Amino acid sequence: MSAPPELPPIVSRAFDVSRKAGYVSFCRNETGRLLATLAATRQGTLAEFGTGCGVGTAWLRSGVQTDARIISAELDAKLAGAAAEIFVDDPSVEVLAADWSTLRDQGPFSLLFLDSGTPSEVGVDSIAELVESGGIVVLDDFVPCEMWPPITGGRVDTLREQWLTDERFTAVEVMIAPDASAIIATRR
Ligand SMILES: C[S@@+](CC[C@H](N)C(=O)[O-])C[C@H]1O[C@@H](n2cnc3c(N)ncnc32)[C@H](O)[C@@H]1O
């Protein structure tokens, strides 16, 4: 047995900011490592809907290898301000205190992390045109489920079903931990 890999320094910094703000609704490290891995394949503009305190943004930044830029929108101005501090010296990252819908005209995106926590807003129809061909959408916080259609809380999980079957995307649900899964959907 050995210790898990170290956190990238920018992610540690984001955790420090979260701790100071008393904010705990950040993505788990397994999702973060997935985001970093996917970001490492990207150019152009990556976006995040729902910044929180910047942990997911930091994971994305840790993976980006090129001159790609990252924009992230957070509705709560205090959280957005705290997250923006993490990247104050980094011109490739912009955190906006805004509803994510204000980023609509900044696409198309090469990667889009949908993490605003409002499933009804991030259905395939409202997102598909924001993603470039070959672009990747990531959604997390699902509970792995062997049934089809997928069930969450005793009901058919229509969001997950939509994302996994829409013809505009090739999509897969991957388990990132025994109790957590994410959807990765690539725009055709
Ligand atoms: C799960 S947290 C984000 C965690 C963050 N992405 C991370 O990985 O650390 C969800 C955040 O989305 C924000 N949010 C909710 N609705 C939003 C909207 N319409 N536009 C922008 N942000 C929104 C909430 O204020 C909350 O801070």
- Number of Cβ within a 10 Å radius of residue 165: 12
This prediction has a pTM of: 0.96
- Inter-residue contact 107 to 47 (CB < 8 Å): yes
Write the pLDDT tens digit of every residue in 59-101.
999 999 888 999 999 999 999 999 999 999 999 999 999 999 9
CATH number at residue 168: 3.40.50.150
pLDDT at 1: 76
Q: What 3-state DSSP class applies to 108?
A: coil
Q: Ligand 1, atom 26: nearest CA belongs to which residue?
A: 52
50 Cα to the center of ligand 1, angstroms: 3
Write the pLDDT tens digit of every residue in 103-134.
999 999 999 999 998 878 889 999 999 999 99
* Domain region containing 178: 28-187
Would 146 be classed as within a structural domain? yes
Would 9 be classed as within a structural domain? no
**What is the C-alpha separation between 121 and 106, in angstroms, rounded?**
18
Q: Kindly report each contact of residues 41-44 with a partner whose C-beta sits within 8 Å and lies 24 or more positions away, as own/partner.
A: 42/66, 42/68, 42/110, 42/111, 42/136, 43/67, 43/68, 43/110, 44/68, 44/69, 44/109, 44/110, 44/132
Q: Ligand 1, atom 15: nearest CA belongs to which residue?
A: 116
Verify whether ligand 1 is closer than 6 Å to residue 27 (CB atom).
Answer: yes
126 Cα to the center of ligand 1, angstroms: 17
Would 56 be classed as within a structural domain? yes
Atom of ligand 1 nearest to the CA of 26: 9
